[in-house]
């Protein structure tokens, strides 16, 4: 039975501070499982290929050999629509293979999302830490995208009839790490999706061309500002980091892990000190990013010797805190679903660090008006995601306390 959607709007009780309203549907205990489809192509007409040979060779990153044998014998593989439980079945060229992954209980994830800004073209959300944006790995249902799909997005009838590019639901146009909270932009229309994506792409291109800090603040279609708590005390009030980011080998992550890498793609971050917390040996910083490489802020801050406080993955130098596991991922070790056991070492989706997408400035994707300040200054509006208390300066905490009469 589907759970009822929860929504708190203006007029239906007080919305969360700084938000227009919040929405979300509680997660079911189990997701719906997954199916993976392949078409078998015989490279050598004289060589026979068995079902287990196909899966253990082509999808060895999903499960070890014994795991694939277990999945086949469980009846999780169909060949041309028929369940096959014999691992040694010989495949015929052109056969359609489908692996059915059983439903599973995904790890805990929050489900409520706050709406910070909304118009006919886009919506800005406040994403909580612990919620993944798009499906990947263990999280196939407990994602921001799933909540966007579940909500009934009511649009004005005039807009619905006049515009043919309106999507059935908004879609994220960039990503935030699972452990990162804050502002996430989503497009309601195809035009907005293309243009907003191009804004982010332009930032990455500019980062490759311009390494001079004097050019950092020049006019751009979109600018993103984050708040972070880092280890140690930064000496300089401002640091521009241009270390490239690329993929490196990392056990338990089949496609590799993003890290500081001289052969990687260009990336640029501007770090500004907001407050030095000497008694804790921490520094509160604002980070403006030009490019949007995966885990860029975590990597860049670690690269300059100041990893995020409680970051389980990235250490000084922008490389993973890695100790070779003793027996993880061997052919004799597999989980109950046949796949590899979860790695003992940290992985990119692990949370614990303090990073928040605080605010952004952008040109509207269809009107080209600059959305800049939260106050009404003509056409200018600033989209801001309220800060967690741990990322507030002393002055910000004092102001918040005065507002609430604390």
The pLDDT tens digits for 43-95 are 877 789 999 999 999 998 888 899 999 999 999 999 999 999 999 999 999 99
The pLDDT tens digits for 270-289 are 999 999 999 999 999 999 99
Which element (helix H / strand E) includes 191?
Answer: helix 190-209
Residue 259: φ, ψ to 5°: -160, 175
Residue closest to 97 by CA, chosen among 137, 148, 57, 46: 57
- The answer to whether the CB of 321 falls within 8 A of the CB of 346 is yes
The pLDDT tens digits for 192-221 are 999 999 988 886 666 666 555 445 445 678
Q: Is the pTM of this model over 0.85?
A: yes
The pLDDT confidence band at residue 17, using thresholds 50, 70 and 90, is confident
> Residue 27 forms beta bridges with which residues?
none
Residue 406 clears pLDDT 80, i.e. is over it: no
Residue closest to 230 by CA, chosen among 289, 271, 172, 182: 271
Q: pLDDT at position 338, please?
A: 64
The pLDDT confidence band at residue 123, using thresholds 50, 70 and 90, is very high
Of 158 and 382, the structure prediction assigns the larger pLDDT to 382
Residue 378 clears pLDDT 50, i.e. is over it: no
Q: pLDDT at position 321, please?
A: 85
Q: pLDDT at position 263, please?
A: 94
Residue 352 clears pLDDT 60, i.e. is over it: yes
Residue 299 clears pLDDT 80, i.e. is over it: yes
Residue closest to 328 by CA, chosen among 252, 272, 264, 271: 252
Q: pLDDT at position 7, please?
A: 64
65-73 vs 51-58: helix crossing angle, rounded to 10: 130
pLDDT, averaged across the chain: 86
Q: pLDDT at position 339, please?
A: 66
Q: pLDDT at position 319, please?
A: 94
DSSP string, 196-212: HHHHHHHHHHHHHH---
Of 45 and 383, the structure prediction assigns the larger pLDDT to 383
As a whole number, mean pLDDT of residues 95-106 equals: 95
How large a percentage of the chain has pLDDT more than 90? 65
Q: pLDDT at position 361, please?
A: 87
Q: pLDDT at position 324, please?
A: 59
CA distance 358 to 356: 6
> Residue 258 forms beta bridges with which residues?
247
Give the Cβ contact number of residue 2 at 10 Å. 8
How large a percentage of the chain has pLDDT more than 70? 81
Q: pLDDT at position 206, please?
A: 67
């Amino acid at each position: 039975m589907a759970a009822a959607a929860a929504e708190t709007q203006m007029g239906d009780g007080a919305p969360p501070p700084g938000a227009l309203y919040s929405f979300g549907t509680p997660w079911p205990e189990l997701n719906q499982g997954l199916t993976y489809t392949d078409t078998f192509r015989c490279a050598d007409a004289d060589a026979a290929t068995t079902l287990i040979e196909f899966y253990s060779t082509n999808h060895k990153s999903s499960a070890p050999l014994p795991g694939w044998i277990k999945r086949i014998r469980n009846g999780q593989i169909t060949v041309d629509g028929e369940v096959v439980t014999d691992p040694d079945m010989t495949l015929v060229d052109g056969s359609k293979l489908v692996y059915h992954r059983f439903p599973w209980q995904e790890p805990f994830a929050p489900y409520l999302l706050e709406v910070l800004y909304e118009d006919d073209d886009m919506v800005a959300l406040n994403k909580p830490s612990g919620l993944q944006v798009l499906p990947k790995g263990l999280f196939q249902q407990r994602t921001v995208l799933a909540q966007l799909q579940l909500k009934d997005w009511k649009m004005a009838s005039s807009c619905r009839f006049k515009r043919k590019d309106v999507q059935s639901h908004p879609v994220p146009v960039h990503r935030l790490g699972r452990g990162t909270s804050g502002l996430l932009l989503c497009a309601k229309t195809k035009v907005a999706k293309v243009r907003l994506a191009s804004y982010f792409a332009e930032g990455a291109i500019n980062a490759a061309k311009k390494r001079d800090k004097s050019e950092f603040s020049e006019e751009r279609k979109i600018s993103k500002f984050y708040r972070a708590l880092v280890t140690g005390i930064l000496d300089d009030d401002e640091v521009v980091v241009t270390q490239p980011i690329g993929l490196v080998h990392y056990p338990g992550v089949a496609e590799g892990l993003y890290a500081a890498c001289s052969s990687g793609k260009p990336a640029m971050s501007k770090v500004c000190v907001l407050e030095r917390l000497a008694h804790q040996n921490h520094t509160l910083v604002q980070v403006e990013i030009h490019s949007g490489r995966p885990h860029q802020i975590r990597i860049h801050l670690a690269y300059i010797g100041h990893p995020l406080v409680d970051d389980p993955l990235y250490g000084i130098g922008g490389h993973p805190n890695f100790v070779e596991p003793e027996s993880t991922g061997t052919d004799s070790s597999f989980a109950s679903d046949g796949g590899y056991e979860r790695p003992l070492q940290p992985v990119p989706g692990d949370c614990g660090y303090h990073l928040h997408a605080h605010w952004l400035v952008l040109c509207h994707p269809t009107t080209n008006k600059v959305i800049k300040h939260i106050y009404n200054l003509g056409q200018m509006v600033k989209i801001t995601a309220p800060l967690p208390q741990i990322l507030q300066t002393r002055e910000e905490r004092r102001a918040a306390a005065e507002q609430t009469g604390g």
